[in-house]
Structure 1
Amino acid sequence: MPGTVGRVPMPPAPVSGQPVGSPTAGLVLHHDWSRTPLGPWAGWDPAVRAAAELILANPVPMALVLGDDHRLLYNDAYAELIGDRHPAALGQPAAEAFPQAWDLPGVGDAVTHTYRTGEPFLDKETTLPLLRQGSGTVEHAVFTRGYSTLRDSTGAIVGVFLVAAETTQVTRQLQSLSEVAAALAGTLTLDDVARVALRWAITSFDADRVSFAVDEGGGGWRMVRRLRGELMDEADERLPPLWRRAAADWAAPVVAAARDGRPHYTDDGQPLLPTAVDRHDQKIRALATVPLRASVVRGGLSVGYQRPHTWSAAERALLAASAELIGQAADRARRFETQHGTAQLLQRSMLPAHLPDLPLLRIAARYDPGVDGNAAGGDFYDAFLLPTGGLGIVLGDVAGHDVQAAARMGQVRAALRALALADPRPDAVLTGLDRLVTSLGAEGGTHELFVTVVFGVVDADRHRLTLASAGHPAPLIRRCAPDGEPSAEYLDVPAGAPLGLGCRPVTTTVRFHPGDTLLLFSDGVVERRRQGLDAGLDALADAIAAAGSGDPRALCAVATAAVAGTTEDDVAVLAVEHALRPSRSASMEVPAEPTAPSRVRHWMTGQLTDWRVPESVIGAAVLCTSELTTNALLHAGTAARVDIDLSPERLLVSVADSGTRGTVTRAQTDTLSSRGRGLGLIEELSDAWGTDPTVRGSTVWFEILVPAE
């Protein structure tokens, strides 16, 4: 039968190896055990006292429950485990110390069963409520527990050993694998994969530094890292990662793992010192680097700590599993980027690289691919000078989202320009196109070739606009009377039938006054699922009328965002403004050098000062341009071009790069952190801003209205 320490006669013995080597040991030694049934510490059975001393010196969370009422004695590690219940739990009955957990199945009943029968107990995983120290809140933690009996010198059972290892972190890490798999399933680009991998690694391992590296495909590497405590809010997560690029022989540990295909683990040292870029790298003492398990992409993932750390078998297995998931996602992303780049290059190479630069006609266009951006589409636009001195403008839509649609679009666009240069009358041009599309359909053996188009001729000298349409949405014009509020109206241009279906175009001529802006658009701008077409048209007209200016680039951005919701169709917009007075323009090629932003600031300040722009506008414009130039050089890593255009009403500045940065996402100023603050600043200081993708990179622009004299 089990006994208790207090019932076993024990002769007084000198206390050897007194447990004074730790804070909890000191509390045990000085605890008034005489007030418990166990009696004074010095009178305990030597075997019991030796077991207690062994527990107190052990770094593993361990405890003893002694006697029939299961009085608690435990070590430092166990004290840390139970949090705020220490030190009150010391010497208490276990049922009173842990009232929330004791009555749970497999806890109090298991201890009592082991105490009464002597049978050991092992629970590999259980979830128990735990009061975290300092938090004041109860959370559920996962433990592996083992119970075994403690016998005194006579062989009687007097207590139970409790060994507990909290495996909450490991369990959460394993659970996080499913979460990271789900997140990786939604990634399209290597930027997306890097964001998910870094966020998951630094959270799951509670690391000080994590990095992600991939090969450039044609030689060289690029790596992005994330640090503990780094301010990363929603705006930063949407921005492209700041990749660091290096040569093919780069010796960084994460690249070494990617290159030789083997993981590397450092428990203590300075693994990043040879390739450190700052003090954050120099402080890393423990580092794990694992190669991505990928067939297309060579890459690696690293996790580091600023303190010594022994990499357990569970952590190594978790890193290996995650590397396989991340590698698969990187492969998909590399394939997508290759296909996406090919499709977009095909699409945009068929669109005009440059639009005409005219004194009184300002022209801008925007094209956004539909679906997932991985297919070429059939929307197109063009603007070109005619032999008569007028400006020919066109926007059309060839049905389909494949290479064949893009090829047909190229044929239609080239034919339209040829017909217009021979005879610019809109009805004659569309009649000729109708014959071409009919011929293409017959040649291909299909009657499903669906093409809509609107073509017009702008005569700035006569202040008039002549248009004809073949099944296309009516153009929208923004009227801006000098003494009234801007308004927007759809022009009454008979749509007729699409090309190839017996189109009989009718010509319409309207007034096009200085200050007016014409907008041609594809149906992807206004059509949304579960929403009537009239609602989309009304939303577009309201947004254009409410725009801060009639600048065509700004109106293109307004138009593409005017109707709420997403569209699977391509979006194309072409805007032409009849300026009140000619504008002045200048440009600067910006080399990819660290001094480039300061050179841009100096050049721009001088140029705007010569043009007698108000100082308030100069200061805001120079600051915004400097931010955009820095942003372009950081993300694209290539030379850039700054263009400025000054009209009496507004200053327009654009910064174009030739890299693959992708689209910058608009974000609210008050949610931006360090890197996002540049774009937040532009949003705060400018009257409008946006991004335009191009064939080889992207353009970010902003507009500042110039106060009237």
Structure 2
Amino acid sequence: MPGTVGRVPTPSAPAPGAPADPVVHGPSAQTGHPWAGTALGAPQSWDPAVRAVMDVVLASPVPMALLLGDDLVVFYNDGYAELIGDRHPDALGRPAVEAFAEVWRDPGAGEALERVYRHGEPFLQREAVLPADRQGPAEPAVFTRGHCAVRDSAGRIVGVLTVSAQTTQLTQQLQSLSDFAAALSGTLTLDDVARVTLRYCLHSFDADRVSFAVDEGSAWRLVRRIRGELLDEADERLPPLWRRMSAESALPAVVSARSGVASFIADGQPLRGVAADRHDEKIRALAALPLRTTVVRGSLTIGYREPRPWSPAERALLAASAELVGQAAERARRFETQHGTAQMLQRSMLPERLPDLPRLRIAARYDPGVDGNAAGGDFYDAFLLPTGALGVVLGDVAGHDVQAAARMGQVRAALRALALVDPRPDAVLDGLDRLVASLGVEGGTQELFVTVVFGVVEADRERVTLASAGHPAPLIRRAGPGAPAVAEFVQVPPAPPLGLGGRARTASVAFHPGDTLLLYSDGVVERRWQDLAAGLAGLGAAVTGATSGDPRALCAVATAAVPGATEDDVAVLAVEYAVRPSRSASMEVPAEPTAPSRVRHWMTAQLTEWQVPEAVIGAAVLCTSELTTNALLHAGTAARVEVDLSAERLLVSVADSGTRGQVTRAQTDTLSSRGRGLGLIEELSDAWGTDPTVRGSTVWFEILIPSDGSRVGDAPAR
């Protein structure tokens, strides 16, 4: 039975050898507190057994509280004072129902304490939020609390002892594990998996070093993050910098991945002998967990600079994390294989190089739709005709599968063959119409839907002749000397898509020096949520506002002209009639550390010889060095630098032959590992972009030439 109402029962005198007053420690038992005015009475009257419990509470670093007497008067130690925050010291010496009035009736609160006091039954509350946290942060601290009865010297229940153990970190880690799984579900490539994994593990496990390793057949590649790395949002989107490891490496990450066995080192020098730098040398505790998948062999390692016991709960959490990483890595490897095959098929059917002409500059861009695993039917081509004119074509075969890509290849090849015999655009499209109808009959399908626009550019006659079969109207950007640029759509006589028996008709329009012709697929302008006219208007406005008529820059402008994602493929082909011939040069860059320095020297010498203004040279050399460094680091292959100089602008491109997938703006917002990247490119150039190629990708930038430097483009053509 509980003790006397309102007061803890005590003997008339202190026990022999016991001090007259209890030993007081910390804020919860200050001698100045008016205990005599509480239900507990003066300290001299407290029962020796209760005083002993109080001394234990005060001396403990674990948060503890005593609730004494029928009123459950509150008494606690320093640790508990920290937990209840602003409620200290007002809660001291007050009945619990008053000190924690707003939560007293919550489940597991007042009722549980009163039950322990009345019946002496211990109670364990596995997840509790302390009352003080109701006014605290948005993410309250979570605790496991245990309550047990406190008895006096006569064995009577006189109060309740509460011990609180904070479990916030474990709760947060479990929540973080859920967030981690959600983040991994959105990854497509191993680069994505590595980036998400390193960020999560470094933060959630408060680690000093994290690494992620995967197999590459005969070798391994590993990426690492360490505590304190200065990474901004752009760096987080940067393709990780992988390090190649031999198949027999003794690195714990490789050993675990190779053996499929996890290892936990609590204290030692686990990376001694294989350390890449001083950061590895400082690691004393290391966990290495294999990725258990059927497709990918790999591992996840977590390291600390201080000894770590690796508790069972932490090992289980690490194992769960490694399981999630393994599943994501397996999906990514399958995606990369399918994506690479589809895109290689797609791009192998497109021209690897476009004609290189003195006065006609040509560029094209192809971006796959949302599903990167599918091969699409968009295509483009540009080729010289027997008459000396330039034939240009852009078409769209409906579908996003291998069959669509194969039909695209047939249509493209047939169009070139027809044009070489009779280059008249209407004649070419009429011949294609018969071919597509024949393919439909042979395939037993009426769903073969092909649109195409074909044009003949005659520079000597300053004219372009176009014919269209169900395709969006071509656009011409006109920018005569001294006149503002304006974009106009060419009104080509309409005709149905190929295979329906339509008759194509032609339209001829002027094409003067300074003009740029733009052909594009419907993926450029069509969006589900808006009218086609709005997309066309957006494209026209973007092309009009472009800084120059350079075809590569206009391709980038066109693909970004209409906001929002499209599920269709996007293809653009641009031809500029240059005011003057341009100069060009190129350099093959080997995959070796001295390459960026060699590129800088070559660029400086070449642009100086061409009398490019010094300010342009400095900016161009710096940007080219950044792009070259990125190509060597992240593609891991040799690169090719191309420079094209006209009277209006300097265009520089750096192409690699890597096979890790398409380079996108999101992936290249920072290019080099030195933290400057595209922030620098965007600052120093007037336009930039990335273009996927048949093998690898190309990153380019354009710098406009100041008007007082117009003489630099007057040099004769190559």
Same fold (TM over 0.5): yes
1:326 partnered with 2:325 = yes
Which position in structure 1 is the counterpart of 2:130?
128
Q: What are the equivalent positions in structure 2 for 1:589-668 lying under 5 Å apart?
A: 589-659=588-658, 660=660, 662-665=662-665
In structure 1, C-alpha distance between the alignment counterparts of 2:454 and 2:589, rounded to whole Å:
37
Offset at residue 64 of structure 1 (A): 2.8
Contact kept, 8 Å, 2:382 with 2:393, in 1: the verdict is yes
Q: Go from structure 1 to structure 2 and tell me whether the alpha carbon gap of 1:668 and 1:346 turns closer, same or farther (over 3 Å shift).
A: closer
Which position in structure 2 is the counterpart of 1:105?
107
In structure 1, C-alpha distance between the alignment counterparts of 2:13 and 2:267, rounded to whole Å:
48
In structure 1, C-alpha distance between the alignment counterparts of 2:321 and 2:363, rounded to whole Å:
46
Q: What are the equivalent positions in structure 2 for 1:40-189 lying under 5 Å apart?
A: 45-75=47-77, 77-83=79-85, 85=87, 93-95=95-97, 98-131=100-133, 137=137, 139-189=139-189
Amino acid in structure 2 at the alignment position of 1:283: K
Amino acid in structure 1 at the alignment position of 2:179: E
Amino acid in structure 2 at the alignment position of 1:279: R
Q: Go from structure 1 to structure 2 and tell me whether the alpha carbon gap of 1:158 and 1:412 turns closer, same or farther (over 3 Å shift).
A: same
Q: Go from structure 1 to structure 2 and tell me whether the alpha carbon gap of 1:78 and 1:277 turns closer, same or farther (over 3 Å shift).
A: farther
Contact kept, 8 Å, 1:6 with 1:39, in 2: the verdict is no
Offset at residue 5 of structure 1 (A): 4.6
- More off after superposition, 85-94 vs 467-476: 85-94
Q: Go from structure 1 to structure 2 and tell me whether the alpha carbon gap of 1:127 and 1:29 turns closer, same or farther (over 3 Å shift).
A: closer
Which position in structure 1 is the counterpart of 2:694?
695
Contact kept, 8 Å, 1:231 with 1:674, in 2: the verdict is no
Which position in structure 1 is the counterpart of 2:202?
202
Which position in structure 1 is the counterpart of 2:358?
359
In structure 1, C-alpha distance between the alignment counterparts of 2:227 and 2:90, rounded to whole Å:
35
Amino acid in structure 2 at the alignment position of 1:545: T
Amino acid in structure 2 at the alignment position of 1:2: P
Q: What are the equivalent positions in structure 2 for 1:462-477 lying under 5 Å apart?
A: 462-477=461-476
Contact kept, 8 Å, 1:465 with 1:510, in 2: the verdict is yes
Which position in structure 2 is the counterpart of 1:350?
349
Which position in structure 2 is the counterpart of 1:215?
215
Offset at residue 349 of structure 1 (A): 0.4
Residues 558-611 of structure 1 deviation map (CA, whole Å, 9 limit, x = unaligned): 000111222111110000000011111111122222222222112111111111
Q: What are the equivalent positions in structure 2 for 1:389-538 lying under 5 Å apart?
A: 389-538=388-537
Amino acid in structure 2 at the alignment position of 1:347: Q
- More off after superposition, 339-348 vs 70-79: 70-79
Amino acid in structure 2 at the alignment position of 1:576: V
1:9 aligned residue (8, 12, 18) = 12
SS in 2 for 1:154: coil
Q: Go from structure 1 to structure 2 and tell me whether the alpha carbon gap of 1:211 and 1:75 turns closer, same or farther (over 3 Å shift).
A: farther
Contact kept, 8 Å, 1:285 with 1:304, in 2: the verdict is yes
- More off after superposition, 364-373 vs 546-555: 364-373
Amino acid in structure 1 at the alignment position of 2:49: A
Contact kept, 8 Å, 2:390 with 2:456, in 1: the verdict is yes
Amino acid in structure 2 at the alignment position of 1:500: G
In structure 2, C-alpha distance between the alignment counterparts of 1:473 and 1:196, rounded to whole Å:
41
Contact kept, 8 Å, 1:231 with 1:673, in 2: the verdict is no
In structure 2, C-alpha distance between the alignment counterparts of 1:246 and 1:235, rounded to whole Å:
27
Which position in structure 2 is the counterpart of 1:278?
277
In structure 1, C-alpha distance between the alignment counterparts of 2:391 and 2:184, rounded to whole Å:
47
| Aligned positions, number | 701
In structure 1, C-alpha distance between the alignment counterparts of 2:652 and 2:297, rounded to whole Å:
40
Residues 493-515 of structure 1 deviation map (CA, whole Å, 9 limit, x = unaligned): 22312222113222322221111
In structure 1, C-alpha distance between the alignment counterparts of 2:544 and 2:580, rounded to whole Å:
21
Q: Go from structure 1 to structure 2 and tell me whether the alpha carbon gap of 1:67 and 1:31 turns closer, same or farther (over 3 Å shift).
A: farther
Offset at residue 484 of structure 1 (A): 1.0
Which position in structure 2 is the counterpart of 1:253?
252
Offset at residue 155 of structure 1 (A): 1.5
Contact kept, 8 Å, 2:237 with 2:668, in 1: the verdict is no
Q: Go from structure 1 to structure 2 and tell me whether the alpha carbon gap of 1:311 and 1:667 turns closer, same or farther (over 3 Å shift).
A: closer
In structure 2, C-alpha distance between the alignment counterparts of 1:313 and 1:101, rounded to whole Å:
34
Amino acid in structure 2 at the alignment position of 1:11: P
Which position in structure 2 is the counterpart of 1:573?
572
TM score, norm. by length of structure 1: 0.92
Residues 478-498 of structure 1 deviation map (CA, whole Å, 9 limit, x = unaligned): 111112111111112223122
- More off after superposition, 633-642 vs 86-95: 86-95
Q: Go from structure 1 to structure 2 and tell me whether the alpha carbon gap of 1:128 and 1:59 turns closer, same or farther (over 3 Å shift).
A: closer
Q: Go from structure 1 to structure 2 and tell me whether the alpha carbon gap of 1:697 and 1:110 turns closer, same or farther (over 3 Å shift).
A: same
Offset at residue 263 of structure 1 (A): 2.1
Q: Go from structure 1 to structure 2 and tell me whether the alpha carbon gap of 1:105 and 1:399 turns closer, same or farther (over 3 Å shift).
A: closer
In structure 1, C-alpha distance between the alignment counterparts of 2:620 and 2:240, rounded to whole Å:
26
Q: Go from structure 1 to structure 2 and tell me whether the alpha carbon gap of 1:687 and 1:392 turns closer, same or farther (over 3 Å shift).
A: same
Contact kept, 8 Å, 1:592 with 1:637, in 2: the verdict is yes
Which position in structure 1 is the counterpart of 2:287?
288
Q: Go from structure 1 to structure 2 and tell me whether the alpha carbon gap of 1:666 and 1:584 turns closer, same or farther (over 3 Å shift).
A: farther
SS in 1 for 2:640: strand
SS in 2 for 1:508: strand
In structure 2, C-alpha distance between the alignment counterparts of 1:64 and 1:285, rounded to whole Å:
41
SS in 2 for 1:292: strand
In structure 2, C-alpha distance between the alignment counterparts of 1:267 and 1:528, rounded to whole Å:
56
- More off after superposition, 370-379 vs 550-559: 370-379
Residues 522-570 of structure 1 deviation map (CA, whole Å, 9 limit, x = unaligned): 1111111132211111111111111000000000000001112221111
Amino acid in structure 2 at the alignment position of 1:118: G
- More off after superposition, 471-480 vs 423-432: 423-432
Aligned-residue RMSD, C-alpha: 2.9
- More off after superposition, 537-546 vs 587-596: 587-596
Q: Go from structure 1 to structure 2 and tell me whether the alpha carbon gap of 1:263 and 1:10 turns closer, same or farther (over 3 Å shift).
A: farther
- More off after superposition, 642-651 vs 119-128: 119-128
Which position in structure 2 is the counterpart of 1:264?
263
Offset at residue 640 of structure 1 (A): 1.4
Offset at residue 211 of structure 1 (A): 2.5
Residues 410-450 of structure 1 deviation map (CA, whole Å, 9 limit, x = unaligned): 11111222222222222222222222222222221222222
Q: Go from structure 1 to structure 2 and tell me whether the alpha carbon gap of 1:208 and 1:14 turns closer, same or farther (over 3 Å shift).
A: farther
SS in 2 for 1:316: helix
Contact kept, 8 Å, 2:10 with 2:47, in 1: the verdict is no
Offset at residue 154 of structure 1 (A): 2.1
In structure 2, C-alpha distance between the alignment counterparts of 1:233 and 1:160, rounded to whole Å:
51
- More off after superposition, 73-82 vs 450-459: 73-82
In structure 1, C-alpha distance between the alignment counterparts of 2:33 and 2:636, rounded to whole Å:
71
Offset at residue 69 of structure 1 (A): 4.2
In structure 2, C-alpha distance between the alignment counterparts of 1:65 and 1:257, rounded to whole Å:
52
Contact kept, 8 Å, 1:13 with 1:42, in 2: the verdict is no
Amino acid in structure 2 at the alignment position of 1:126: A
Gaps of 5+ in 1: none
In structure 2, C-alpha distance between the alignment counterparts of 1:59 and 1:308, rounded to whole Å:
22
Contact kept, 8 Å, 2:295 with 2:330, in 1: the verdict is yes
In structure 1, C-alpha distance between the alignment counterparts of 2:30 and 2:335, rounded to whole Å:
68
In structure 2, C-alpha distance between the alignment counterparts of 1:342 and 1:444, rounded to whole Å:
25
Contact kept, 8 Å, 2:467 with 2:492, in 1: the verdict is yes
- More off after superposition, 65-74 vs 193-202: 65-74
Q: What percent of counterpart residues are identical?
A: 72
Contact kept, 8 Å, 1:33 with 1:41, in 2: the verdict is no
- More off after superposition, 337-346 vs 407-416: 407-416
SS in 1 for 2:292: coil
Amino acid in structure 2 at the alignment position of 1:350: M
In structure 2, C-alpha distance between the alignment counterparts of 1:707 and 1:107, rounded to whole Å:
76
Q: Go from structure 1 to structure 2 and tell me whether the alpha carbon gap of 1:283 and 1:43 turns closer, same or farther (over 3 Å shift).
A: farther
Amino acid in structure 2 at the alignment position of 1:112: E
Offset at residue 187 of structure 1 (A): 1.9
In structure 2, C-alpha distance between the alignment counterparts of 1:170 and 1:622, rounded to whole Å:
51
Q: Go from structure 1 to structure 2 and tell me whether the alpha carbon gap of 1:99 and 1:496 turns closer, same or farther (over 3 Å shift).
A: same
- More off after superposition, 559-568 vs 148-157: 148-157
Residues 641-698 of structure 1 deviation map (CA, whole Å, 9 limit, x = unaligned): 11111001000011111122532325999x9998663111111111101100112211
